[in-house]
Amino acid sequence: MNRIAVVPGSFDPVTLGHLDVIERAAGLFDEVHVVVVHNPDKNALLPIAQRVSLIERSIADAGVAGTIVVASWSVGLLVDYCTDVGAQVLIKGIRSQIDVAYETPMAIVNRNLAAVETVFMLPDPSHAHVSSSLVRQVAALGGDVRPYVPAAVYEFLQKT
């Protein structure tokens, strides 16, 4: 059986913490789908197509091994995407108890709706404090985001 996992997120922008979770998921599953989802509760900095492109470049630049598909999903439930591609698992990177409290109800609903399990993955401690919103704030105020994002993201943000 082909073990397929989905790593969803807004990835606005993708961070080194995201890349760490993606790389470790690729080591555990036969196929990993990194899915950029629209989050209506967030004001996006980057268009979805740009986020997909930056994730693809970041994965390639990092030399992440394995079968990785980068896609976007904005119609229907995320578990619908999982069902469409045959994924049995959602991988969620969590940084704190706040993330656990936020993600747990969604994990239960996703399991009830489509028998899709959620695996919580802790980031490398060097990235545990980094979020996309923090990167956006630092970048907007002219701070150096190089320690927090892949080179492709840093280069892109320098141009905008």
| Given the residues 10, 33, 51, 132, the one annotated as active site | 132
Amino acid at 88: Q
Residue 42 a catalytic site member = yes
CA distance 95 to 123: 7
Report the chain's C-alpha Rg in angstroms.
15
Decide: residue 153, CB within 10 A, 0-12 exposed, 13-18 middle, 19+ buried. Answer: buried
Query: In CATH, what is the architecture of 4-159?
Result: 3-Layer(aba) Sandwich (3.40)
| Given the residues 42, 96, 129, 133, the one annotated as active site | 42
Mean pLDDT by 10 residues, the chain (160 residues): 94 97 97 92 89 98 96 93 97 94 97 97 92 93 96 92
| Given the residues 18, 51, 92, 127, the one annotated as active site | 18
pLDDT at 13: 97
pTM flag (> 0.85): yes
pLDDT at 154: 96
| Given the residues 53, 72, 95, 131, the one annotated as active site | 95
| For the chain, domain boundaries | 4-159
Are residues 7 and 91 in contact, defined by beta-carbon separation less than 8 angstroms?
yes
pLDDT at 41: 78
Residue 53 a catalytic site member = no
Q: What are phi and psi of 63, to 5 degrees?
A: 70, 30
Residue 95 a catalytic site member = yes
pLDDT at 144: 96
Residue 127 a catalytic site member = no
